[in-house]
Structure 1
Amino acid sequence: MALQDKIDQDIKSAMLAKDNARLRGLRAIKAAILLAKTEKGPAEALTEEAEIKVLQKLAKQRRESADIYQQQNRDDLYQIEMEELAVIESYLPKQLSQAEIEEEVRQIIAQTGASSPKDMGKVMAAANQRLAGKADGRTISQVAKALLQ
């Protein structure tokens, strides 16, 4: 089942259950998918990779907004962002743990022959390709920097 069809069904379920927090998150996902489809062109469908990238972008936006709201002591807005983030993350593939990311990056470093921070570009290119959708780019970068030091 395509992600958009699943989202439509889940929106109906959330409406019937009167679950406003879930409904907000689902509507944000639907809007982002529709926007991505119109950018690609009306005849082309989004690939699964493109859908995951859209979801990752939404999750990143929610995390950044939540951080800002928390710094400004706006717990009401922080809570809304965290509720939407939970809904968005439920549609993303299972995220790797810190230890799993480190293991993957170690393997990539060994395969690319990277030995210093100068090789960060090679490592990140391979890591982003291999770990797409499974780990946050910022986390991958931090792990790669630490291992290349």
Structure 2
Amino acid sequence: MTLEQRVNDDIKQAMLAKQPERLAALRAVKAAILLEKTSGTAHELTDADVVKLMQKLVKQRRESAELYTSAGRAELAANELAEAGIIEEYLPKQLSAAELEAALRDIIAQTGAVSPADMGKVMGVATKKLAGLADGRAISEAVRRLLN
């Protein structure tokens, strides 16, 4: 079962169970998938593409929650964070800080990087190898720290 099919099935279950927060989050995912499918590139989305879309949606919701919190709208921020949590259930498990550092040390050894000037070389390999397993910002900060 593809990730897209799983989302569609879970939308039906959320409707039957009368879970409005879950339903709203899953409908947002489905809308993003449909929008991407009809964007003119005319291709079927792989699970990796759907994961990227979901990561983007989670990031958007977290940023919205920060804005709502700074504006004093805690109830809207809580709603955004709840939706982000629901969407994250479908994403692969994120690497812990220790696992990320270990993976990056291997990549640095493979690329032969020794100074901050080699950061681009390391980031190119790391973002491909760790796609979906770690946030790009976390990868960048860890690489910068390890190369200094």
Where do residues 74-113 of structure 1 align in structure 2 (5 Å cutoff)? 74-113=73-112
* Aligned amino acid, residue 55 of structure 2: Q
Where do residues 34-45 of structure 1 align in structure 2 (5 Å cutoff)? 34-39=34-39, 41-42=41-42, 44-45=43-44
CA distance in 1, matches of 2:52, 2:15: 26
Tell whether the 8 Å contact from 2:4 to 2:50 is kept in structure 1 after alignment: no
Helix, strand or coil at the partner of 1:39: coil
Residues 94-140 of structure 1: per-residue CA shift (max 9 Å, x gap): 11101111111111111111111111111111110110111110110
- Number of aligned positions between the proteins: 148
* Aligned amino acid, residue 45 of structure 1: E
Q: Which runs of 5+ in 1 are unaligned?
A: none
* Aligned amino acid, residue 35 of structure 2: L
Q: 1:18 offset after TM fit, Å?
A: 1.1
Residues 23-80 of structure 1: per-residue CA shift (max 9 Å, x gap): 11100100011111112544x2111211111111111111111122222222111101
Quote the residue 2:28 is aligned against. Answer: 28
* Aligned amino acid, residue 73 of structure 1: G
Helix, strand or coil at the partner of 1:134: coil
- RMSD of Structure 2 on Structure 1 (CA): 1.2
Q: What TM-score do the two structures reach when normalised by structure 2?
A: 0.95
CA distance in 2, matches of 1:85, 1:147: 30
Helix, strand or coil at the partner of 1:50: helix
Report sequence identity in percent.
55
- Runs of 4 or more above 3 Å deviation: none
CA distance in 2, matches of 1:48, 1:61: 20
Q: Which runs of 5+ in 2 are unaligned?
A: none
